[in-house]
Structure 1
Amino acid sequence: MVQKKFMLRVERFSFGLRLTEVRIPNHTVRDSSARLECHFDLDGEALYSVKWYKDGNEFYRYVPRDMPPAQVFILPGVSVDQVERIL
């Protein structure tokens, strides 16, 4: 088992964001997959970005106004499934 430390950052333009749930496994088996999920309520406001970090390094970013809106950054030990990344 490998313990992993992940951090989530969700940004929007005003203060109505409510993070309702974050699902991150406490432990995973090396070279196995893990699903990271965040659920939030924007209360009708526009989302600015969702960013995922591992050990302080960003590996995934979603900014709806960017083209393309989703970006994956190379980070040793992290692989983002292109099919599963849904927002």
Structure 2
Amino acid sequence: MQTKAILAAVLLAVATFAQTTGGERYIGAGLAVGLAGLGAGIGVGIAGAAAMSALVERPQERIWYLIFLALAEAIAIYGLLISLLLVL
């Protein structure tokens, strides 16, 4: 029950900020970076664990494991670019 009250208070504060300052684009930029970073972190965690497991079995294909990690990390860079486009 406390979690819902805290979430409602945060959402109310964000909505008030957006209405009084015209900060919709800043909220959108923050969400873009935050959610992209969260998604990239989850992706890198899963891909990294799988890559380490696969590296034990087939070490000669380690470049492919790095490519998969780089693809997951690129999601965070896309979020950063979108946030810059929103703010500027």
Bigger radius of gyration among the two? 2
The one of the two structures with greater contact order (alpha-carbon pairs below 8 A, sep at least 6) is: 2
> Between Structure 1 and Structure 2, which shows a larger proportion of strand residues?
1
Q: Which interval holds the TM-score relative to the shorter structure?
A: under 0.3
- TM-score with structure 1 length normalisation? 0.24
TM-score by length of 2: 0.23
